[in-house]
């Protein structure tokens, strides 16, 4: 009896011990005698990182990996058995008798799910595994502390600070990133970020082995294609390319910064820092993000220029023309460019033209020679007729070394402010054209030697003009290389602006055909500035044609200038202008056609309104706000819309809002542009009181209109046609009454069927702030965007104006004239060139 009781107690005791052991053991070393079981956690010395078994969100499968111990959002940055998970909690990571780390499961001795495979190289079999404070999980020799294996040599999807990315030339091992399959499956995904050692090394982002994006070569300071990446406040990036390895290492500037770079399952490469106060990862860089980031977007000899005003981002390098003009016209640049036929660039007076501010072409077949200067580089390149371009290989000390291309130039793009100079080989005629452009003003100057004073004046003017020109568009200048060695070949700095290439002009006959001769069947609508027609071009592309009323009284040149300026405004929440047509007394603007028509056609339609849930409505409002902010603040021109309303907000196929009719005031002539207009344009119900009553307008009048639009989006009711027996007048007035009573949720569109949250309340309050009587009280669009996007405390709105429908008896007239005392808020210059 006694013995059996003792036996039972003993078993219970061991069971308890085992249970404790299997529950939560915190280790700092794994040795032959101390394995790591599921549930145990191995911590780094300062408890910054943790290692152990985990399951991704929405998954029950178990993986071993490392994560941040000191970051509230569980963030795994390395996984060992990414393709061979354990299905239950039976996994054990141990060190076997040959000194290798092995992961076993299911309590049987079958082959391990994962192991370090070092046994053949391990002489002393007493090894141990630890997690370092850098996040590196290492296997080391216990006696000598020699590192035998480290997780930093086998990255998963994350580059941690102090971890190498590149190629170990001695072992042929790549330090590369590979995305997870998805957020809940760390298995090998389709996206890889890896060093390409060929030619002059660069990093490539591949999707299933196909290049998607390229970092460009190391310029000595940064990657040629990543002007922003070496964020000087966060990372210090160093690059090594020698006999032993090619590698890049990110070091954090300040040890209190927590940063990482991750190859996301979606194919986006992102860099984050951890923001402890808000408890979030903040992205500070990502690629690829724009069209010009796509590898070879404009084909061989094409230059991808996202700032191009003619709206097609592809241009050809100087001396080249589109290989297929038809595809080019259809906005497909992938075919690239070819050299103008019939010219020779071999020993017939050729030279180089400088293309500035670019990401240099793919260097996987380029030759680098660090011993040459840039001048010698030009001479070498000129000697060999297959040399197509050159640049300096190292920019860290003002430009030295020679990087030259001997075949197609692929994947070039322009940046707005930081980039490299690429010298492209051109034939004698093109060279002369670029040289001529520069020389002519010079000859002209010499001709004017009559008076030194005249020259001085001219020089000053020239200087100012050039300076302004530079300032206006710093990114698109091309110039001829200046070598100075050979006087007869001396080349001068030239300006070439790829963006002055004009907005496409359409023939009247093309437009007439496209719209069936402006058939009323194709008429989409009629507005203050003219009628809008739908059209289909010969290639099948759908367009919207705005035919301006003939009485705009503006000269053709002025009109062209205005349209070209307006067409430069590019934002995802603005309708795109594709071109214009000016013939006889016809003036037309050609826009992209948006199939979902305008916001009012959804909002005020009994059936369609239910398609707009609260989330969608919020996104639409937010998009409109961002588009307006761009017009007011971020574009090169400052534009006051003056007629923002739901029928001027179009919806694309994915229901993204696009503001239309922006810049109309500008396009349609000068007399309405002064602060005090002769003719009030705009739409009753959306007009701010100062504009409706006194013709005074400012960016704050647009804010007023935005407020009205926001209330209409929330309520599904038109401001102008609103009728309610108890209300003071219109929608704005009604919402104000409800606000005062604290019951403004009553106004929310019932078709949203209560599927909304308290954000609606915030939006009502923001709308009321926008429609306040006095323009000075109203927020700016940038305040509005901020308030919509952040959960900040909002101030209390003051009395709005219901001027448009004010009933004589009820209006409180005391305040309606005070607006004129505070005219200083008015931006009388509606449009100002930046």
The residue ranges that bind ligand NAG (CB under 6 A) are: 57-58, 70-72, 86-87, 96-98, 100, 102, 105-106, 108, 110, 112-113, 115-117, 119, 181-184, 189-190, 208, 236, 238, 251, 254, 256, 367, 384, 386, 406
> Which residues sit opposite 657 in a β-bridge?
651
From the CB of 16, what's the least distance to ligand NAG, in Å?
A: 25
Distant-in-sequence, close-in-space partners of 71: CB < 8 Å, separation ≥ 6: 258, 274
In the complex with ligand NAG, the residue whose CB is nearer, 104 or 666, is: 104
3-state secondary structure 555-623: CHHHHHHHHHHHHCCCCCCECCEEEEEEECCEEEEEEECCCCCEHHHHHCCCCHHHHCCHHHHHHHHHH
Q: CA 267, CA 192: separation in Å to the nearest integer?
A: 8
Query: Environment class of residue 669 by beta-carbon count within 10 Å: exposed (0-12), middle (13-18) or buried (19+)?
Result: middle
In the complex with ligand NAG, the residue whose CB is nearer, 96 or 340, is: 96
In the complex with ligand NAG, the residue whose CB is nearer, 187 or 675, is: 187
- Our measurement of the distance from residue 362's CA atom to the centroid of its chain's CA atoms, rounded to an integer in Å, reads 22
Ligand-binding site membership of 546 (annotated): yes
Cis? peptide before 288, omega within 30° of 0: yes
From the CB of 367, what's the least distance to ligand NAG, in Å?
A: 6
Q: How far, in Å, are 55, 56, 58, 74, 725 from residue 88 at the CA level?
A: 10, 13, 15, 20, 67
Q: CA 310, CA 323: separation in Å to the nearest integer?
A: 19
Of 157, 196, 427, 643, which one is the catalytic site residue? 643
Distant-in-sequence, close-in-space partners of 730: CB < 8 Å, separation ≥ 6: 685, 719, 720, 722, 802, 804, 805
In the complex with ligand NAG, the residue whose CB is nearer, 238 or 509, is: 238
Q: CA 172, CA 422: separation in Å to the nearest integer?
A: 32
Expressed in angstroms, the distance from the first to the final Cα of the chain is 97
- Please give the helix or strand (H or E) that residue 164 lies within, else none: strand 164-168
In the complex with ligand NAG, the residue whose CB is nearer, 108 or 790, is: 108
From the CB of 291, what's the least distance to ligand NAG, in Å?
A: 21
From the CB of 692, what's the least distance to ligand NAG, in Å?
A: 47
Q: CA 3, CA 367: separation in Å to the nearest integer?
A: 84
From the CB of 132, what's the least distance to ligand NAG, in Å?
A: 17
From the CB of 237, what's the least distance to ligand NAG, in Å?
A: 8
- Phi, psi at 812, each rounded to 5°: -95, 100
> Which residues sit opposite 246 in a β-bridge?
167, 241
Distant-in-sequence, close-in-space partners of 594: CB < 8 Å, separation ≥ 6: 544, 575, 650, 651, 652, 653, 658
In the complex with ligand NAG, the residue whose CB is nearer, 158 or 308, is: 158
Compute the radius of gyration of the chain from its Cα atoms.
34
In the complex with ligand NAG, the residue whose CB is nearer, 20 or 87, is: 87
In the complex with ligand NAG, the residue whose CB is nearer, 77 or 313, is: 77
Strand bridging mode 302-304 / 412-414: parallel
Q: CA 651, CA 135: separation in Å to the nearest integer?
A: 48
- Structure-token pair, residue 189: 């995904």
CB 661 within 8 A of CB 642: no
- Structure-token pair, residue 284: 């500070």
Distant-in-sequence, close-in-space partners of 798: CB < 8 Å, separation ≥ 6: 772, 773, 774, 777
From the CB of 178, what's the least distance to ligand NAG, in Å?
A: 12
From the CB of 206, what's the least distance to ligand NAG, in Å?
A: 12
Strands, E assignment, 219-333: 235-241, 245-252, 259-263, 269-275, 280-287, 302-304, 314-316, 320-322
In the complex with ligand NAG, the residue whose CB is nearer, 259 or 503, is: 259
- Structure-token pair, residue 257: 């910064």
- Structure-token pair, residue 706: 């935005």
In the complex with ligand NAG, the residue whose CB is nearer, 16 or 257, is: 257
CB 111 within 8 A of CB 105: no
Neighbours of 73 (CB within 10 A): 10
In the complex with ligand NAG, the residue whose CB is nearer, 251 or 550, is: 251
From the CB of 386, what's the least distance to ligand NAG, in Å?
A: 5
In the complex with ligand NAG, the residue whose CB is nearer, 248 or 478, is: 248
From the CB of 260, what's the least distance to ligand NAG, in Å?
A: 15
- Phi, psi at 573, each rounded to 5°: -105, 20
From the CB of 56, what's the least distance to ligand NAG, in Å?
A: 7
Is 643 designated active site? Answer: yes
- Please give the helix or strand (H or E) that residue 190 lies within, else none: strand 185-196
Query: Environment class of residue 239 by beta-carbon count within 10 Å: exposed (0-12), middle (13-18) or buried (19+)?
Result: middle
From the CB of 120, what's the least distance to ligand NAG, in Å?
A: 8
Q: CA 350, CA 339: separation in Å to the nearest integer?
A: 13
- Phi, psi at 240, each rounded to 5°: -125, 130
What residue numbers does the annotated binding site cover? 546
Positions annotated as catalytic residues are: 643
What residue numbers does the annotated binding site for ATP cover? 546
């Amino acid at each position: 009896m006694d013995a059996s009781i003792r036996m039972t107690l003993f078993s219970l005791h061991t069971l308890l011990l085992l249970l404790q052991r299997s529950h939560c053991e915190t280790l700092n070393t794994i040795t032959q005698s101390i394995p790591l079981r599921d549930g145990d956690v191995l911590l780094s010395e300062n408890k910054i990182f943790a290692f152990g078994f985990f399951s991704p969100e929405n998954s029950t499968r178990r993986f071993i990996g490392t994560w941040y111990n000191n970051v509230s959002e569980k963030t795994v940055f390395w996984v060992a058995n990414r393709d061979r998970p354990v299905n239950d909690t039976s996994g054990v990571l141990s060190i076997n008798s040959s000194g290798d780390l092995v992961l076993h499961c299911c309590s049987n001795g079958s082959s391990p799910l994962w192991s370090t495979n070092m046994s053949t190289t391990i002489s002393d079999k007493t090894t141990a595994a630890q997690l370092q404070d850098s996040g590196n999980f290492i296997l080391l020799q216990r006696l000598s502390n020699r590192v035998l294996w480290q997780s930093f040599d086998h990255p998963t999807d994350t580059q941690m600070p102090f971890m190498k990315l590149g190629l170990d030339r001695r072992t042929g091992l790549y330090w590369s990133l590979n995305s997870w399959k998805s957020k809940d499956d760390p298995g090998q995904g389709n996206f890889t970020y890896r060093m390409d050692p060929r030619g002059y090394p660069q990093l490539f982002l591949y999707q299933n082995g196909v290049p998607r994006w390229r970092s460009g070569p190391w310029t000595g300071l940064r990657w040629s294609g990543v002007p922003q990446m070496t964020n000087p406040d966060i990372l210090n990036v160093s690059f090594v390319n020698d006999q032993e390895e090619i590698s890049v290492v990110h070091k954090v500037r300040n040890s209190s910064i927590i940063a990482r770079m991750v190859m996301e399952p979606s194919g986006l490469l992102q860099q984050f820092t951890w923001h402890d106060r808000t408890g979030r990862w903040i992205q500070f860089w990502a690629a690829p993000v724009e069209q010009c980031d796509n590898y070879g977007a404009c084909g061989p000899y094409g230059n991808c220029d996202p700032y191009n005003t003619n709206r097609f981002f592809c241009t050809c390098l100087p001396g080249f023309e589109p290989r297929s003009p038809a595809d080019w016209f259809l906005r497909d640049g992938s075919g690239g460019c070819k050299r103008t036929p019939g010219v020779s660039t071999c020993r017939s007076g050729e030279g180089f033209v400088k293309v500035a501010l670019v990401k240099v072409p793919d260097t996987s077949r380029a030759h680098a020679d660090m011993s040459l200067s840039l001048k010698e580089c030009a001479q070498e390149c000129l000697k060999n007729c297959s040399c197509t371009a050159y640049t300096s290989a190292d920019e860290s000390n003002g430009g030295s070394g020679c990087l030259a291309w001997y075949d197609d130039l692929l994947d070039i793009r322009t940046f707005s402010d930081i980039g490299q100079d690429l010298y492209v080989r051109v034939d004698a005629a093109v060279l002369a054209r670029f040289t001529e452009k520069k020389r002519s003003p010079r000859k002209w100057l010499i001709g004017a030697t009559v008076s030194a004073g005249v020259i001085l004046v001219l020089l000053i003017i020239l200087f100012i003009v050039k300076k302004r020109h530079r300032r206006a568009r710093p990114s698109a200048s091309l110039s001829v290389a200046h070598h100075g060695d050979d006087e007869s070949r001396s080349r001068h700095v030239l300006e070439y602006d790829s963006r002055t290439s004009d907005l496409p002009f359409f023939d009247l006959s093309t437009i007439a055909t496209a719209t069936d001769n402006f058939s009323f069947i194709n008429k989409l609508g009629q507005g203050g500035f003219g009628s809008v027609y739908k059209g289909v071009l010969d290639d099948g592309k759908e367009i919207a044609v705005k035919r301006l009323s003939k009485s705009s009284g503006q000269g053709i040149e002025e009109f062209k200038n205005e349209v070209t300026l307006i067409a430069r405004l590019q934002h995802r929440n603005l309708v795109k202008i594709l071109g214009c047509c000016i013939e006889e007394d016809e003036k037309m603007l050609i826009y992209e056609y948006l199939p979902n028509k305008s916001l009012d056609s959804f909002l005020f339609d009994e059936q369609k309104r239910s398609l707009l849930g609260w989330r969608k409505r919020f996104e639409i409002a937010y998009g409109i706000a961002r588009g307006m902010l761009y017009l007011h603040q971020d574009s090169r021109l400052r534009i006051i819309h003056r007629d923002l309303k739901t029928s001027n907000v179009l919806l694309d196929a994915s229901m993204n809002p696009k503001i239309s009719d922006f810049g109309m005031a500008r396009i349609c002539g000068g007399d309405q542009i002064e602060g005090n207009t002769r003719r009030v344009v705009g739409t009753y119900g959306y007009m701010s009181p100062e504009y409706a009553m006194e013709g005074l307008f400012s960016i704050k009048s647009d804010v007023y209109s935005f407020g009205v639009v926001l209330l209409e989006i929330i309520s599904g009711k038109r401001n102008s046609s609103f009728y309610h027996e108890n209300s003071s007048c219109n929608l704005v007035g009604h919402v104000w009454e409800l606000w005062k009573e604290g019951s403004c949720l009553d106004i929310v569109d019932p078709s949203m069927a209560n599927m909304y949250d308290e954000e609606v309340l915030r939006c009502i309050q923001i709308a009321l702030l926008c429609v306040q009587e006095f323009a000075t009280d109203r927020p700016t669009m940038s305040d509005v965007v901020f308030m919509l996007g952040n959960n900040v405390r909002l101030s209390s709105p003051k009395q709005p104006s219901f001027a448009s429908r004010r009933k004589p008896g009820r209006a409180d007239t005391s305040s309606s004239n005070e607006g004129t005392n505070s005219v200083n808020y008015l931006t009388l210059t509606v449009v100002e060139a930046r």
